[in-house]
Amino acid sequence: MAQIIDGKALAKSIIGEIAEKVKKIKAVKNISPKLAVILVGEDPGSQIYVRNKEKDCEAAGIISETYRLKADIEEKEILALIESLNINKNIHGILVQLPLPKKLNEEKITNKITPEKDVDGLHTINMGKLFKGEAPYFMPCTPSGCLEMLLSTGVDIKGKEAVVVGRSNIVGKPMAIMLLSKHATVTICHSRTERLGEVCRRADILVAAVGKARLIKGAWIKPGAVVIDVGMNRLETGLVGDVDFNEAKEVASYISPVPGGVGPMTRAMLVKNTFIAAERA
């Protein structure tokens, strides 16, 4: 039976540490870390996520200011808003909540954020530095949270075979690079990979980030593997991951649950990045 990697508890611990650092930076340097969040449209998942981010920032003593924009807003208006936030010295981090409405160019909008304030780590410069093995200003929050969860197990990543299921720019690709940087041997798969179950079963470390409910079965998991489930799939019965949790927990050594796993850790990494941005400023 697998041990549960409690992302909620780990995130609470990280946010508590940041709260202490925020108190010091306010007292010593008179800096109040501040995050600007741009939310476009009425996507229900995004609304919930932004509310949770606001709560986490409050717990850490970080000011969070949300700009709620209508779905039919013109792209040039968003770009102008980001430009004004870039030059505002009181704003330390800027986040555009994804996904954006389809008529908007996500890459153009996220790349408008200055890399030093890109606390979501999605700017082309930050991604490029990560892929070249240089130190980016910030790394993407979700894979950073996954890595923290892996490290919390005490399992040595070096030399292990890691399989990442999912190839998105937000999770899959940067996750693979982060695992490579820890000297894992990494395979990236996706929904069209042939004999996906066989590939997954080779993994000492399995990260599922493909966006298909319960795709990964218990029989696909190597006995004793560490499983990180990034999936957030809303079914009528509730929120489930990309891994069939009930089957997988019987085989894995460690497993992250959904909900209560990667989600809270993603937000904790955002809080941490915002503090770092303020500290550098």
Active site residue 3: no
Cis bond before residue 115 (omega within 30° of 0)? no
From the list 180, 62, 167, the residue with the least C-alpha distance to 119 is 62
Residues 206, 187 contacting (CB under 8 angstroms): no
Q: What is the DSSP string of 69-131?
A: E-TT--HHHHHHHHHHHHT-TT--EEEEPSSPPTTS-HHHHHTTS-GGGBTT--SHHHHHHHH
Partners of residue 68 on adjacent β-strands = 39
Cβ neighbors of 209 (< 8 A, separation 6 or more) are 142, 164, 165, 166, 168, 171, 172, 175, 230, 231, 242
Active site residue 6: no
Q: Quote the tokens at residue 46.
A: 């995004």
Q: DSSP assignment, residue 243?
A: B
Cβ neighbors of 93 (< 8 A, separation 6 or more) are 33, 34, 35, 36, 117, 119, 270, 273, 274, 277, 278
Cis bond before residue 99 (omega within 30° of 0)? yes
CB atoms under 10 Å from CB of 113, counted, come to 24
Active site residue 53: yes
Say which of 34, 53, 129, 173 is annotated catalytic.
53
Amino acid letter, residue 51: R
Q: Cα–Cα distance between 71 and 60 in angstroms, integer?
A: 30
Identify the burial level of 205 via C-beta atoms within 10 angstroms of its C-beta, where 0-12 means exposed, 13-18 middle and 19 or more buried: buried
Say which of 34, 56, 97, 229 is annotated catalytic.
97
Say which of 56, 118, 120, 229 is annotated catalytic.
120
Residues belonging to the active site: 53, 97, 120
